[in-house]
Chain A
């Protein structure tokens, strides 16, 4: 479904050359829920923006269902970390969800149907008439998810979507994503810096190295499909997996530090 090959992104500004992503290759199968996890500042957001067509990669390519991505493709929907800025405060919730559909050229009835259905499935059926800023942070992020759902994407890209909400809301939203993924069979690429979240959510976890980023390890999460906050998180297998991922990330950090020392540059930092 989603094919990332040899992706490289170098930022150049005022003589400084920052290699955010060095060489990334991975695939996401149709209907899979894959979590990307890596140390802070490892270029996760850069990577996701390249995948979403918001940034042009320096080298390598991203293909969605066989077509190379150049610019945001209609088959992808983005959920940003900054829900407060990603939702338009001048539009009510319903219109926020509807706007991308209008742009897609859908008829009025179909739009209304999709909006109602998407808001319903994130548990905000009666919030359509509210402004986003009248809702709590968690509810706003639900609206952003509803907007993405209504867009009927083939792939849903989520960029640390729950980094800015409190822990309890976060647990609810994680379960929401799991449920939507299972109900709707969409493909999800979920970026996070939270190891527990990655293991809890993902069917597969891709561990990234520190910047300049490469794939450190790919790990299949062999937890049962039916997961819940109470039991999954205390399951021995969960603990093993999260310990493993944690160790990998620590290794990734050390690895880069050693590399930087050898190269004597020490300024490489992801965006």
Chain B
């Protein structure tokens, strides 16, 4: 209990200090573009009404989740395929390096051309950006399966789907999750960007609307909300990771104790 309190104190200490500094420094500011934090926080409940949550936040989050899920599925599937076959890898690697080097936001105008400006476009933009870290990390993870583990599997006749499910994917798990983690932050960025180009709702759209309408405190509340959203998502991600990779953290803790 006490340990938990101390940890909570550590975790919340710096944010509290930063908010306090912002609060004090902005207090009494008359600059229209930098309103006092007090004004921003007062505006928050007025701006983010139930309607806005339903009409803007929810669609954004759903598009993010859809794009992210697509990227995760495609990235892991393709990555496993490429990682397990040397020839496929030799053929694909140069192309992958090129595609990965293209900054995903630049895809927005391109994807708009054939996917329109609806949800499909935004989900595709998110998916196209998120897929790379998942894909490349999966390739590396699958390649790095321990040769002894692979031979053990072979000697016990563990092949095909069972080998994939029980040996290859769990063994690549830590790396796949590293890719998924990177993809999550990329996804949030692309969610916002895709809504800034052409949209009629969403968090990014709302923030740009506020900025264009000189509703500066409203704009700031949107940015705060985005930060909070990112924070909550990464927290959920960590929870999922702890669950799936519990064995890995335990193993690492053990090997660190006895080198």
Q: Which residues of A contact B (CB under 8 A)?
A: 49, 52-54, 72, 74, 76-78, 80, 82, 85-91, 99-100, 102-104, 131, 133-134, 147, 151
Contacts and interface: CB of A to CB of B under 8 A. Distances in A.
A80 B148 contact: yes
**Max chain A C-beta neighbours (<10 A), residue from B155, B158, B159:** B155
Given A102-B162, A134-B254, A90 B151 contact: no
A91 B162 CA distance: 14
A77 to B, nearest CB: 7
Nearest to B244: A90
29 contacts: A53-B155, A54-B154, A72-B156, A78-B151, A78-B152, A78-B155, A78-B156, A85-B149, A86-B148, A86-B149, A87-B152, A88-B149, A88-B171, A89-B248, A89-B251, A90-B171, A90-B247, A91-B166, A91-B170, A91-B247, A99-B166, A100-B156, A103-B157, A104-B157, A133-B247, A133-B251, A133-B254, A134-B250, A147-B156
A72 B152 contact: no
A74 B157 contact: yes
A95 to B, nearest CB: 9
A72 B151 CA distance: 10
Interface of B: 146, 148-149, 151-152, 154-159, 162, 166-167, 170-171, 173, 247-248, 250-251, 254-255
A166 to B, nearest CB: 13
A131 B149 contact: no
Contact of A72 (B157, B171, B250): B157
B158 A100 contact: yes
A61 B149 CA distance: 26
B259 to A, nearest CB: 13
**Max chain B C-beta neighbours (<10 A), residue from A90, A102, A103:** A90
A80 B150 CA distance: 12
A169 to B, nearest CB: 15
Contact of B167 (A53, A80, A88, A131): A88
B82 to A, nearest CB: 22
Nearest to A151: B156
Contacts of B173: 90
A49 B171 CA distance: 23
A78 B149 CA distance: 12
A61 to B, nearest CB: 19
A151 B173 CA distance: 27
Interface of B is mostly: helix
Nearest to B163: A103
A88 B155 contact: no
A72 B154 contact: yes
Contacts of A49: 151
Contacts of A85: 146, 148-149
Nearest to A81: B148
Contacts of B152: 78, 80, 86-88
**Max chain A C-beta neighbours (<10 A), residue from B158, B167, B248:** B158
A80 B148 CA distance: 8
A133 to B, nearest CB: 5
A54 B151 CA distance: 7
B219 to A, nearest CB: 46
A55 B148 CA distance: 13
B155 A76 contact: yes
Give me the 7 closest cross-chain CB pairs, A-B, nearest first.
Answer: A100-B156, A85-B148, A90-B170, A78-B155, A90-B247, A86-B152, A133-B251
A185 B156 CA distance: 21
Nearest to A74: B157
Given A85-B146, A90-B170, 5 more contacts: A72-B154, A72-B157, A99-B156, A103-B159, A131-B247
B170 A88 contact: yes
Contacts of A89: 247-248, 251
Given A82-B148, A85-B146, A131-B250, A77 B155 contact: yes
Contacts of B148: 80, 82, 85-86
Contacts of B154: 54, 72
Contacts of A53: 155
B158 A103 contact: yes
Nearest to A101: B156
A85 B154 CA distance: 14
Contacts of A82: 148
A35 B171 CA distance: 33
Contacts of A88: 149, 152, 166-167, 170-171
A218 B13 CA distance: 73
Nearest to B156: A100
B62 to A, nearest CB: 32
A91 B155 CA distance: 18
Contacts of A54: 151, 154-155
